[in-house]
Structure 1
């Protein structure tokens, strides 16, 4: 039977001359009024090492910790479900290799596919993406996304396959939202939102289309690749096990930008782009047929 103990991120510290204080998951310090409770016994209770108290004072403090959400049963790590273990990895080995290692350690069964690693390659068709009936497809590019490359992959959620991707543009890398159901954010939605959010939309569109003149290539170092792989693996693990997001934006509505020079991660909310309804045709005037236009 799991015992009650402090939830991850919450810690209790003894402050000289002031008693106990709790450090919350948000990094704030709060004083603990222990009353007549024995502090050593109380610390044992909060760590899950003590037995149920019989005195009222320690029970009062424990109830206060429970009410604040600082105390819970020790959670068991949810296993990776068998029907979601098959993860297909496409893209650059510099990113797919560390991602495969993370996923295997979490209980998934990643399959790297080296045949479609080149960004300039022809777009991959749906039959190739669905080959082997994967639970999810992840595509990692060490460069910008060529026009049309992910067009077929954007339809994976409609086939019951989760869709996750990342790419690099110079010193900036982008981890796009995981799409797991029809109506989730696709790569086309992200491109449309990014174009709408910048006054340099013509320049950004030209950058994506190419060609681009570059000097020395931006190196994708091991720490940067490991960070990107860890972010992708965490998103996949939360999707597979149903683990809720602890903080920040929901994974399926979040675009993350990673500065590869400082490894700083910035989150941006992103929503699907609604389908545009066709422009209705004008009805002819009542009681007659439309009059054709004439020049002059």
Structure 2
């Protein structure tokens, strides 16, 4: 109460007050709609909520979100505070150059371009020095068969701050290796997980005297592989954090995840993979 008898100004609302709305658009995947008992919201993770605001307040929020020529209401700050506002993240300019190492590179190159990257293709069989000369932010390697030994040489890309993504195929399974774990470590972890079958896995990788069925991905499967690979690389480039939700409660960041795609069913299996600690001398 003031001595002049004038009413004291209301204290700022701890939820709505002092929040600056940066982007007046709903985050992709979010929807504000009319539910059975008033306004409702589906968030980007797929969760559904009732929105406890008056019809007048909701009208103001809708107007602001649809670009109507009206001042943004204070209630819009609540949506921002809850993480429901924001636009699509573009490919960061400083990480747009991606070198593609693949016998069949067209699908990867096209997918990278569509996602906003600048793909470059070194000559076939290019080594570490030649790849470094291109100045890439990341390298995406695809091999239509078990991972080649030369990938271990390219593990040195990480020492230069370059993202190192590998995709290979074993039978009808495509393996998307974690960008943040060297290939040699993924190989070592897989051999350890194979237990007594590690000798068979080594022999399969060597491929000596192998008779194979019809394994090669068809054009549609190549597109699927390219899309998954570019999605992982785009999230790495933008440094997008992984948040678990009801759909993916155990989500693993792409830089620590080995993803296996079954080409016959489209099923995905994700496995956490950590770097192998350096051995003591």
- Shorter-chain TM-score bucket reads 0.7 to 0.9
How far apart are the structure 1 equivalents of 2:212 and 2:91?
46
Q: Give the CA deviation at 1:194.
A: 1.3
Provide the alpha-carbon RMSD of the alignment.
2.7
Pick the aligned partner of 2:41 from 4, 7, 22: 22
**What does 1:60-71 align with in structure 2 at a 5 Å threshold?**
60=75, 62-70=76-84
Where in structure 1 are there 5+ consecutive unaligned residues?
Answer: 117-123, 180-184, 279-296
Q: Give the CA deviation at 1:38.
A: 5.8
- Where does residue 283 of structure 1 map in the other structure? none
Q: Give the CA deviation at 1:208.
A: 1.2
How far apart are the structure 2 equivalents of 1:252 and 1:66?
28
Q: Give the CA deviation at 1:261.
A: 1.1
Where in structure 2 are there 5+ consecutive unaligned residues?
Answer: 1-20, 244-250
How far apart are the structure 1 equivalents of 2:242 and 2:274?
20
Pick the aligned partner of 2:240 from 241, 244, 248: 244
Q: Give the CA deviation at 1:268.
A: 1.6
Pick the aligned partner of 2:213 from 197, 200, 216: 216
How far apart are the structure 2 equivalents of 1:133 and 1:41?
49
**What does 1:88-167 align with in structure 2 at a 5 Å threshold?**
88-93=99-104, 96-113=105-122, 115-116=124-125, 125-146=127-148, 148-167=149-168
- Do structure 1's residue 174 and structure 2's residue 178 form an aligned pair? no
- Do structure 1's residue 261 and structure 2's residue 272 form an aligned pair? no
- TM-score, structure 1 as length reference: 0.74
Closer, same or farther: CA 228–245 of 1 in aligned 2, 3 Å: farther
Q: Give the CA deviation at 1:79.
A: 5.1
- Do structure 1's residue 189 and structure 2's residue 201 form an aligned pair? no
Closer, same or farther: CA 126–3 of 1 in aligned 2, 3 Å: closer
Choose 1 or 2 for highest CA Rg: 1
